[in-house]
Structure 1
């Protein structure tokens, strides 16, 4: 297998999908080299939950940790990618069919094709029991290829809370349709934004051993 890094990040551009009613992403040149005489200077506007991003616990818990309080080690290390795109529901019973040992981070491919410019109409539901189940397996980060670990109409964010109660961190909107199932090294560092409820990340992985699921 190749040892090159594989980008699993949604590219930021002015067409990227965002949560309905939330702040869309935009990039523009505020000052051109012609005007400054030396450099171009760009400006971005975005929600912290557009594109590939990490949720901090503060996103759904007023007393939860903010992005700058999270240990960077959470987002660097072994990650297992599994393809669950054929499932209509994802819970402990479904995941028992996969070998989850040896990975502290679990990345779920729930869709057959990622469409970063289209906000999905629905996502595959995750079971509330995943929190304690994944903790028991030694997993402390869950990544998904959709905008949320909860259903898109959720108001009480039950899966977010279940994962948080079991010390499992959340990575959302990764792209996995070009990635084979297996064990990888991952880097998905959030920006150091003080007080933030989330952060965009540049998420990359590279295989560390052949292991097809």
Structure 2
């Protein structure tokens, strides 16, 4: 039997929510199929933080790597989805401890929404408590993910959890859609584009059922 896939990326279009002040998605047609043109060709403009995306160290550190130069290993492999629904504003260790075991995979994705708001900006988004990031890293986690737009509160100016992942050399995925994903272990596939000068990259994130 084929392994089940869960698409955990939101749809991207003109109405996709973005962080206030960021560049929304827009698209225009450069060419359209006609008697003198055999193809449709579009041009798009967007922040690399639209939809599900991977932050690069450059996003939160002036000397950090661009997304096109980070190691891809953390973005593919076994992961665990943990539910901490409605536990904001910060996801603490107590909120995820029920699903943490000695065999914790190197990737952890946390669901905080009952239904992820794919159609609007949420200024009250849930974020990771920095101490939670530290404890996950101590257990060997190399990538953390969340179903909100940031691992830090929307109004944070210090970005404490982003700075923790910088010091701990973790990777991060934001704006995941985990509404239909039960708690448990999966294979994560969420590769960023090789954007050699960018601070982030959109990803098409999927989870695949593990072989039985």
Q: Same fold (TM over 0.5)?
A: yes
Give the TM-score of the pair, scaled to structure 1: 0.92
Per the alignment, residue 175 of structure 1 pairs with 177
Pairing partner for 1:157 from 159, 179, 182: 159
Contact 1:130 1:163 in 2 (8 A): no
CA distance in 2 between counterparts of 1:44 and 1:131 reads 34
Alignment-derived partner of residue 191 in structure 1: 193
1:184 and 1:209 in contact (8 A); partners too: no
Structure 1 counterpart of 2:95: 94
Answer yes or no: is the 8 Å Cα contact 1:182–1:207 preserved in 2. Answer: no
Inter-CA distance 48–97: structure 2 relative to 1 (3 Å threshold): same
Judged with a 3 Å threshold, the aligned counterparts in structure 2 of structure 1 residues 85 and 209 are, in CA distance, closer, same or farther, namely: farther
Whether the aligned pair in 1 keeps the contact of 2:82 and 2:96 (CA below 8 Å) is no
Q: Is the 8 A contact 1:23 1:47 kept in 2?
A: yes
Q: Which runs of 5+ in 2 are unaligned?
A: none
Unaligned runs of 5+ in 1: none
Residues 1:36 and 1:91: Cα distance change in structure 2 (over 3 Å): farther
Partner of 1:37: 37
Deviation at 1:136, TM superposition (A): 1.2
Whether contact under 8 Å (2:127, 2:148) holds in the other structure is no
How many residues were matched structurally? Answer: 210
The CA RMSD measured in Å over matched residues stands at 1.7
